[in-house]
Amino acid sequence: MKPHILLPLLALSGALLPTAASAAPKPKLTMAQARAIALKRAPGAIKDAEYEHEGRGWRFSFDILQGKRIHEIGVDAMTGAIVEDKYEALDSKD
C-alpha cells in the first residue's frame, strides 16, 4: 500500500473507534445518590464532581472542601460503596 493512501485510512479507522464517553456503562446510581453517599462520609461543599473510569470500574468522584483541605471521595457507580477516601491540600493539582 502506498504511504499517501495509508495515512488517510489510518485516520479514518481511528474515527470509527468508540470514545470513552460512549463506552461508559450506565451507572446503577444517579449522580445525586452518589453525592448523598459522599457527603454523608465527608460533609462539606462539593467543588468538583465527575463520572470516571478508575482502576477496574466506573465511579463518581467528588472533591469536597472541608476547611483548608479537599476530601476526595470515590463512590462505586454500580454498588454505592466508597472506593476512595483521601485528603489533598487546597493547592493540590491531583
Q: What would the pLDDT profile of 1-41 be if each residue is shown by its tens digit?
A: 445 544 444 444 454 444 455 578 999 999 999 999 999 99
| pTM (two decimals) | 0.73
| Class in CATH terms, 31-89 | alpha beta
- Give the count of beta carbons closer than 10 Å to the beta carbon of residue 24: 14
Domain boundaries, the chain: 31-89
Q: What is the pLDDT of residue 12?
A: 47
Encode pLDDT of 57-68 as tens digits: 999 999 999 999
d(CA 20, CA 80): 22
Contact 89/71 with Cβ under 8 angstroms? no
- Give the count of beta carbons closer than 10 Å to the beta carbon of residue 77: 26
d(CA 20, CA 10): 19
Encode pLDDT of 42-51 as tens digits: 999 999 999 9
